[in-house]
Amino acid sequence: MASSAPLQSVSLYLNHARTVLTNTDNLLEGGFWCGWFALTALDLKQSITERTNLNSLPDGATKAGAIWSANQKVLAAGFSTISGGSMVLTWLHGLQLFPLGKLFPFVSSFGYVGSCISALLKAGSAVQDIQGGTIAFFQAATLAERGHVALFQIQKMLQLALYVSIAAWGALGSVHSLVGGATLFKIMDTFFYYAVVVFFMYVAAFCTLPSALPEKPISELR
């Protein structure tokens, strides 16, 4: 009888897993978080590869700037991956497939913190792009170039709004995971839906507006 106890426990666990995972909402939520974690892990791997390849460049200001940007990208991707993994664990805990016990509030909070830090790093890069766009706008030689830069700026401002809203959601979510509070949850939820709306606006802008500043006069690009 004692030897059958582990088998019974495994059987009960598998039955519970089958029950909760046949629920469409649970399955969709899990698919979202697992997909997010997989994508962020792939992005992290690619970012590390790109950073490593920069070591072959000749020393100089160009290499230093490229390494600085690549390091920021690796950090942002790393925190996104940590956040994705935390969200997967949080989802498993909610379904009682991987109970975290007293660690749950901290694991959940850590996931939100990862999203917040990653978004802030990306927001910093967006601010730098906007600053570069502002300089390029006033240095543009023709009206066509200024129009190109202005459209680029619109896309980057939407990108900045997206990252700021995600950072706010992550910061408030980390606090809510530890202390709770219905009002705090509503505010956090508002930033999440705001981020979703801005995301679709940014995707539309990315597909239709310039994604880079012109390296040559507009007349030469045509």
**Can you give the pTM of this predicted structure?**
0.82
Instruction: For residue 214, name the pLDDT band (cuts at 50, 70, 90).
Output: low
Is the pLDDT assigned to residue 31 strictly greater than 50?
A: yes
Helix 61-94 and helix 104-139, axial crossing angle in degrees, nearest 10: 150
Is the pLDDT assigned to residue 38 strictly greater than 50?
A: yes
Instruction: For residue 34, name the pLDDT band (cuts at 50, 70, 90).
Output: very high
What DSSP state is assigned to residue 58?
Answer: P
Q: How many CB atoms lie within 10 A of CB 92?
A: 18
Q: What are the tens digits of pLDDT across the range 118-137?
A: 999 999 999 999 999 999 88
Q: What is the dihedral of CA 194, 195, 199, 200, to 10 degrees?
A: -30
Instruction: For residue 217, name the pLDDT band (cuts at 50, 70, 90).
Output: very low
Instruction: For residue 222, name the pLDDT band (cuts at 50, 70, 90).
Output: very low
The answer to whether the beta carbons of residues 126 and 163 sit under 8 Å apart is: yes
Q: What are the tens digits of pLDDT across the range 56-112?
A: 888 887 888 889 889 999 999 999 999 999 999 999 998 888 899 999 999 999 999
What is the per-residue pLDDT for 103? 93
What is the per-residue pLDDT for 135? 92
Q: What are the tens digits of pLDDT across the range 126-175?
A: 999 999 999 988 888 888 888 888 888 999 999 999 999 999 999 999 99
What DSSP state is assigned to residue 180?
Answer: -
What is the per-residue pLDDT for 218? 40
Please choose, from the candidates 111, 60, 105, the residue with its C-alpha nearest in 3D space to the C-alpha of residue 87: 111
Q: Find the distance separating the first CA and the last CA of the chain, reported in whole Å.
A: 81
